[in-house]
Amino acid sequence: MSKQSGKVAIVTGANNGIGFETTVGMAEAGFHVVMACRSLEKAAAAKANVLARIPSASIDILVLDLSDLTSVRAFAEAFRARYSKLDVLINNAGILLYSAQTNADGVELQFATNHLGHFLLTALLIDMFLDDPASRIVSLSSIAHKNANIHFDDLTCDRDGGVAYGQSKLACLLFGDELDRQLKASGKLLKSLTVHPGGSDSGLFNDLDEETRANMKAQVAQLLHSNEDAARPSLFAALSDQVKGGEYYGPTGPEEMSGKTGIAIRNPICEDYGLTERLWRLSEEMTDQTFTI
């Protein structure tokens, strides 16, 4: 991973967990990193922690609530006002809920946050990327996508939060794959890649009540690796000159929970391009945004 002075990266959900360690890694590589976070207070504390570890880090903060499409559009406008280009976008932020919730527009909250917000953000900033092989869009999926499907007739997944989470992370993977196909078809050098972090206590349990959170952590404690290790697939996809557009990277150890970064296993449903195209059209409709490469 070479030094990347003068380059600009955005990391969503940058103030904790995997997003924080990804921010550290990108700053260490020489990027100017824009931390895209819901809370200015939490982002400011995280920025201070990054600077304590890397005094030379170049960090900016912009507010972004991915569950709110108005906030996504405001972020994109604010970014354009400050910057003339974008080199790397890491669509990292995500939520995991075990009860059904919706956003202000009535959309299942995990689908809205994990997928739709990132879809719109990428669409609004796609023209700011330099058309260069080192330019990257990295989208985070999860091993939870493996048994998932897209429930077009009921995106709430019958109010089952766990099923809805898997759906949202399958959507992230399908989006990343389709984006790379469209970039290649347009003759672009910009790469779209997807990754998953394996097993990590990345803050996803924070929205649970204390008892449930403790029980969940106890059940998976032996399978988890550190947030620093969980960020390695994202950093590999963003920084390595060995990656290929359209690839899916993650830990290659037992059950893909931890281990060395390599090619990860996709749900076979990802080969259903009709499904992917239908999701793309639905995402454009739900965000009221035509995605133009």
> Do the Cβ atoms of 172 and 225 come closer than 8 Å?
no
> Do the Cβ atoms of 43 and 17 come closer than 8 Å?
no
What is d(CA 228, CA 217) in angstroms, rounded to the nearest whole number? 18
Phi, psi values for residue 57, rounded to 5°: -60, 145
Say which of 98, 165, 248, 273 is annotated catalytic.
Answer: 165
Tokens 């924080």 belong to which residue?
Answer: 20
Tokens 């931390």 belong to which residue?
Answer: 35
Alpha helices in the chain (DSSP H): 17-28, 40-53, 69-82, 109-110, 117-125, 161-185, 210-220, 227-230, 232-239, 273-287
CA dihedral (80, 82, 34, 96) positive or negative: negative
What would the DSSP string read from start to end of 60-91? EEEE--TT-HHHHHHHHHHHHHH-S-BSEEEE
90 strand-pairing partners: 11, 138
Annotation says 248 is catalytic: no
Instruction: List, by residue number, the catalytic residues.
Output: 165
